[in-house]
Structure 1
Amino acid sequence: MKKLLLVAALLTLAGCSKVNKENYGKIKVGMDKTEVEAIIGSADSCEEKTLHTNCVWGGEEKNITITLVSDKVTLFSSKGLK
């Protein structure tokens, strides 16, 4: 019974992902990182470079990738959003 509840909870969370086409459409160049996080939550990973930071929300098959300079969106792209 506990396993069934755990599986149901995980499926519910997976269905409620904020990494979707609707939220991707809300992201704009010039937004602060905090504004982006208000829309799609915290990044799953970020890699800091010398002059910019690349952050990814989501996984290999479905994601939103954003490049930030001084914590402002400069570039963004998506993969696998429906």
Structure 2
Amino acid sequence: MKPFFLTLTALLLAVSLTACSKVTADNYDKLKAGMTYEEVRAILGKPDRCNDLLAARSCTWGNEQSYINVNFVGDQAVLFHAENIR
């Protein structure tokens, strides 16, 4: 019986950590033009993906259904967009 309870506990812990997403409307509202990449990362955590091109960087937090995207030029946020966040 103990292995079952250990497995169940581990599964519940994994689900609870996944549910703690920082991709929320409250965090999106904290974003301001001119913030640095590190300031945005302090709010949203590590991005799920980034694309760099010359002095521009586009980073996305979340997945295809629910995400926040921030575009940086010269390490400053210049444009941000969100889809299906609560």
TM-score by structure 1 length? 0.90
Runs of 4+ in 1 over 6 A off after TM superposition: none
Identify unmatched segments of 5+ residues in structure 2: none
Identify unmatched segments of 5+ residues in structure 1: none
Letter in 2 for 1:10: A
Q: 1:55-74 counterparts in 2 under 5 A?
A: 55-74=59-78
Q: Deviation at 1:2?
A: 3.0
Q: Deviation at 1:74?
A: 0.6
Task: Please say which structure displays the higher CA radius of gyration.
Answer: 2
Higher fraction of helix: 2
TM-score by structure 2 length? 0.87
Q: Note the aligned Cα RMSD (angstroms).
A: 1.2
In structure 2, the residue matched to 1:25 is 29
How much identity, in percent, do the aligned residues show? 34
In structure 2, the residue matched to 1:2 is 6
> C-alpha separation between the residues in 1 aligned to 2:84 and 2:7?
29
